[in-house]
Amino acid sequence: MPRLDSEKITLIKGGKIFTGKVKQDLIDGGWIIIKGGEISRVGRGDYRKYTRGQRVSVIDATDKIVTPGLINCHTHLYSALARGLIQASSPRNFVERLETLWWRLDKALTYEDCYWSALVGSLLSLKAGVTTILDHHSSPHAVRESLDAIAGGMRQAGIRGSVCYEVSDRDGQDRALLGIEENVRFATLVAREASPIGCLMGLHASFTLSQPTLLRAREAALENGLGFHIHVAEDNADVVDSQKRYRRRVVTRLADAGILSDRTLAIHCVHVSDQEIRTLNQTGTNVIHCPRSNLSNAVGIAPVAKMFRHGVRVGLGSDGFGASVLDDAYTAILNWRLVEPLPTAGFVESEVLLLYNNQLIAGSILGRPLGLIERGHAADVVIFAYDPPTPINGNNLWDHFLSRELRVETVLVDGKKVLDGGKACLIDEEKVFEHSRQLAIKLWERM
């Protein structure tokens, strides 16, 4: 009788396996072997010689689409409690929208809100096929240990990602210092443990950051080996402020302050000049495009096509505008075609942004190979139920994805099932949603 290996392995068999590489043929009827939270082997044909004598948990993916988990490179999990919130006022511009909605919301957040919004936001992300999220958080009246609450909600749902606290002078320098300290404290904590949650130095935006605070955050980040996560030129108001106070545009100011590097996430970059695009490229800065949010906030369309041509690494994020980055990929195509204008523009490029660039960006930030079904990569896998009305292969899979008719059925993170049959495995989602509804009512009343 063969000796059973003590470590259980997971076998996903059948289905059409998409490894995550752009324009890669599907492995029809293939299999994936997962061991120790990593992809151990991928192939087709007889897998038994790799599983003989081992304890095997089998997932049958016959007639399903199997892909790497999607990655959301910028979101605000606390926005999960804002769905359906009706503003009492009618903001006339982006800054007024921040002042009357988002800055009032974040001031009203409690530690309980932080935890539950992260839990709900993470669950909604998993249901959208997203297994990694890079979050950006703010709760000025609940700063200390807020990142523990956010990370706790993420861990409870079973998602991977990074967190940061948004440093800003808009609530005074004392709050800004607390934000810096919170990022450093949490980064030190996760560095001591094997955690699926990483940490960055969060910064709000140039127009709410004084020079002393910006430089203090830079020094703290350098001392602790942290990259930056910051909104950049989302609205023209950010540019006007930077030119008025510092006699330079936003990207130039951040570059001069030592903020930009290949460990930096520069979110939005809607209002950037050609010279700033060259600076982004020269510093290796990662730009995160959030097209649905930009349209919703009426701030404009980022020059993504130009950045792409200049070699800037551009990824995709939702900015808290829902959980589906596939919807952002689709919107990015429409924006691309409006700007170019070409009826074929943005199709292949959007696939590169979401599937290729996002996995490089998140993998670099979290220090682990992500986003591919390939040996040695994290075993973050999504199984979609989909009965295609037309033939499907590696060359046209992206078009099928953009139909948004694929239904997320099973999700694994680190080789562990976190969603099965479209339902959460680690939490009682009905109770979670019921509690979050009660919290949202109280939160809105405090606003």
Does 64 share its domain with 86? no
- 263 and 347 fall within a common domain: yes
Does residue 251 belong to any structural domain of this protein?
A: yes
**409 in a structural domain:** yes
Residue 341 domain flag? yes
**Cα-trace Rg, the chain:** 22
Give the DSSP H/E element, type plus range, for residue 404.
none
Does 124 reside within a domain? yes
CATH code of the domain containing 34: 2.30.40.10
| Ramachandran quadrant class, 233 (left: phi over 0; alpha: psi -120 to 50; beta: rest) | left
Query: Does residue 341 have a cis bond before it (omega within 30 degrees)?
Result: yes
320 and 212: one domain?
yes
Residue 317, domain extent: 70-366
Give which of 286, 224, 299 is closest to 74, Cα–Cα. Answer: 286
The b-or-e profile of 66-85 (16+ CB within 10 A means b, else e) is bbbbbbbbbbbbbbbbbeee
Q: Is 231 found in the same domain as 205?
A: yes
The sign of the CA dihedral 38, 40, 44, 48 is negative
Under 8 Å between Cβ of 54 and 395: no
How far is residue 421's CA from residue 423's CA, in Å, rounded to a whole number?
5
Q: Rounded to whole angstroms, how far apart are CA atoms 221 and 430?
A: 40
Any bridge partners for residue 318, and if so which? none
Domain match, 80 and 59 both: no
**Claim to verify: residue 275 and residue 395 sit in the same structural domain:** no
Is there a single domain that holds both residue 355 and residue 380? no
Judge whether 431 lies within some domain: no
Looking at the fold, whether 312 and 345 belong to one and the same domain comes out as yes
Distance of CA 349 to the CA centre of its chain: 18
- Are 63 and 201 within one domain? no
Same domain, 293 and 362: yes
Q: Residue 12's CB: how many other CB atoms inside 10 A?
A: 26
Q: How far apart are the two ends of the chain, measured CA to CA in Å?
A: 67
Structural domain includes residue 439: no
Work out the burial of residue 86: count CB atoms within 10 Å of its CB; fewer than 13 is exposed, 13-18 middle, 19 or more buried.
exposed
| Series of mean pLDDT values for 10-residue runs along the chain (447 residues) | 62 94 82 96 92 93 96 98 87 94 96 98 98 98 97 98 98 96 96 87 98 98 97 98 98 98 98 98 98 97 96 98 96 95 94 96 96 96 96 91 94 97 97 97 95
Q: Give pLDDT, residue 196.
A: 83
Kindly state whether residues 36 and 93 are assigned to the same domain: no
User: Domain end: 366, 383, 402, which one?
Assistant: 366
User: CATH number of the domain that 273 lies in?
Assistant: 3.20.20.140
What local confidence, expressed as pLDDT, does residue 6 receive?
53
Domain contains 114: yes
Q: What domain count does the chain have?
A: 2
Are 179 and 324 within one domain? yes
* Selection from 197, 93, 206, 192 nearest residue 152 by Cα: 197
CB 315 within 8 A of CB 351: no
**Residue 442 within any structural domain of the chain:** no
Amino acid at 436: S
Domain boundary among 366, 384, 414: 366
Q: Which two tokens stand for residue 33?
A: 């072997």
Q: What is the predicted pLDDT for the residue at 394?
A: 85
